[in-house]
Amino acid sequence: MSLETSGTFHAARPSEDLLADWASLIRAEYCEMPGLSLTDRQVERLWRLDRPTATFLLNDLIAAGFLRCNARGAYVRADVGSC
């Protein structure tokens, strides 16, 4: 994994352990702030993830039923009402 001048972490192929760690961190943040509503770009910036990794994690959390993407394209907890 490298840190480019943009401050974004890039990994050629994130390991399963690394992806699990990122998913746990994202879950924890959404649990701490149930009203959190972030676009995919905001997720990338907040956690300094590259686009493919952020997309993979968001899709994985949606498939797990933890997140959903609302009509405005923001990712919110699936068990919290629409914003």
pLDDT, tens digit (0-9, with 9 covering 90-100), for 14-71 = 789 999 999 999 999 999 999 999 999 999 999 999 999 999 999 999 999 999 999 9
For residue 48, the Cα-to-chain-centroid distance in whole angstroms is 10
The b/e string for 4-29 (b: 16+ C-beta within 10 A; e otherwise) is: eeeebbbeeebeeeebeebbeebbee
Which of helix, strand or coil describes residue 37? coil
Domain covering 16-77, topology: Arc Repressor Mutant, subunit A (1.10.10)
pTM of this structure: 0.79
Task: Compute the C-alpha angle 17/4/42, nearest 5°.
Answer: 70
Longest C-alpha distance within the chain, in Å?
Answer: 38
